[in-house]
């Protein structure tokens, strides 16, 4: 199969680029923003030439707070641009694997959230991600939407790297303790996407279209996650819990985004490792470069 990764310059895109070298069964192509910008409809004409069997969309506007001011740019990339991509994929007959976000949920059902639960997006970023999902389903029946949460990895800025940098110099940190979810290591998510693609290739006539959750197993709040990072790094930094109101971010964050993983386990036989295991593995690799 021919696979095109859109947004290959981001955290997840770069992780997929590293993984593709061990995939002899498929041909991979990678398009960063200078080749395919979802704000530019003309850029999508390249898909007519490349004719991929699967498009993996990792491109996104991710500056959650800034989105409250940059409404147009956020909506163009996360919603309208994604819709144009889905329409083009449908025209050329390719699957679209679209990466979405736990931000589409802003409610707590008292259990891990299931894919069929109602969406309650709050804020521009959250609404744009929900809008992108809607357009994907509308324009391309051959779609897989993956909602994920709390991404961190080797490439680009993320919460783990920020905590490490602060822990090196600060004796005390204040971290939100009333937002609960599941950290997700980009390496694990990239492997899951690769397995989904292999499944599509092996079972071309099966019905896989739909929405799935992927995150590492286990639930923690940001405060607990920060404490775990400090402990693993051997820092003495004291991490104090604060509320979301005290943090006072411009855009609202989900208070609960623990995702049920039962569907992706059942359909694709994908079993994510626990977040503590993945964090330990990530930090071991990161320490080699520090």
Position 252 in a domain: no
Number of domains in the chain: 1
Mean pLDDT by 10 residues, the chain (290 residues): 95 93 82 96 95 97 97 98 98 97 94 96 98 98 98 91 95 97 98 96 88 98 98 96 96 96 98 98 84
Position 10 in a domain: yes
Position 44 in a domain: yes
Position 286 in a domain: no
Position 231 in a domain: no
Place of tokens 């999508």: 44
Question: Among 84, 93, 91, which residue's Cα sits nearest to residue 135?
Answer: 84
Residues 6 or more apart whose CB falls under 8 angstroms from that of 53 comprise 1, 2, 3, 94, 95, 201
Q: Is 39 exposed, middle or buried (0-12, 13-18, 19+ CB in 10 A)?
A: middle
State the catalytic residues.
125
CATH number at residue 208: 3.40.50.720
**What's the pLDDT at 290?**
65
Task: Extract the runs of DSSP E, i.e. beta strands, from 198-264.
Answer: 210-213, 220-221, 238-242
Q: How many CB atoms lie within 10 A of CB 269?
A: 9
Structure tokens at 34: 């200078």
Radius of gyration of the chain (CA): 19
**What's the pLDDT at 156?**
82
Position 109 in a domain: yes
Position 28 in a domain: yes
Position 201 in a domain: yes
Bridge partners, residue 4, by sequence: 29, 55
pLDDT tens-digit series, residues 204-239: 877 999 999 999 999 999 999 999 999 999 999 999
* Residue 123 domain boundaries: 2-157+183-217+257-273
Phi, psi of 148 (to 5 degrees): -130, 175
Q: How far is the C-alpha of 105 from the C-alpha of 121, rounded, in Å? A: 6
**What's the pLDDT at 25?**
75
pLDDT tens-digit series, residues 3-29: 999 999 999 999 999 988 766 678 999
DSSP designation for 80? I
């Amino acid at each position: 199969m021919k696979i095109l990764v859109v947004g290959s310059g981001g955290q997840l895109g770069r992780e997929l680029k590293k993984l593709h070298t061990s995939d002899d069964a498929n041909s991979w192509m990678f398009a960063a923003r200078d080749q395919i910008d979802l704000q530019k409809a003309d850029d999508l004409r390249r898909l007519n030439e490349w004719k991929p069997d699967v498009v993996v969309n990792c491109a996104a506007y991710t500056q959650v707070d800034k989105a409250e001011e940059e409404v147009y740019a956020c909506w163009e990339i996360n919603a309208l641009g994604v819709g144009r991509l889905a329409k083009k994929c449908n025209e050329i007959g390719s699957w679209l694997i679209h990466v979405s976000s736990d931000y589409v949920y802003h409610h707590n059902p008292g259990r891990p959230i299931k894919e069929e639960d109602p969406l309650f997006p709050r804020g521009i970023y959250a609404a744009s991600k929900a809008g992108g999902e809607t357009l994907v389903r509308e324009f391309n029946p051959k779609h897989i939407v993956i909602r994920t949460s709390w991404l961190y990895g080797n490439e680009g800025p993320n919460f783990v790297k920020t905590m490490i940098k602060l822990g090196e110099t600060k004796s005390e940190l204040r971290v939100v303790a009333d937002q609960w979810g599941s950290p997700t290591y980009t390496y694990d998510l990239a492997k899951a996407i690769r397995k989904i693609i292999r499944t599509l290739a092996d079972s071309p006539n099966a019905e896989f279209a739909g929405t799935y959750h992927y995150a590492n197993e286990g639930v923690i709040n940001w405060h607990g996650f920060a404490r775990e990072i400090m402990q693993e790094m051997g820092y003495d930094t004291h991490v104090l819990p604060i509320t979301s109101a005290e943090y006072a971010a411009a855009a609202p964050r989900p208070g609960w985004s623990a995702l049920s993983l039962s569907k992706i386990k059942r359909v694709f036989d994908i079993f994510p490792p626990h977040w503590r295991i993945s964090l330990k593995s990530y930090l071991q690799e990161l320490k080699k470069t520090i």
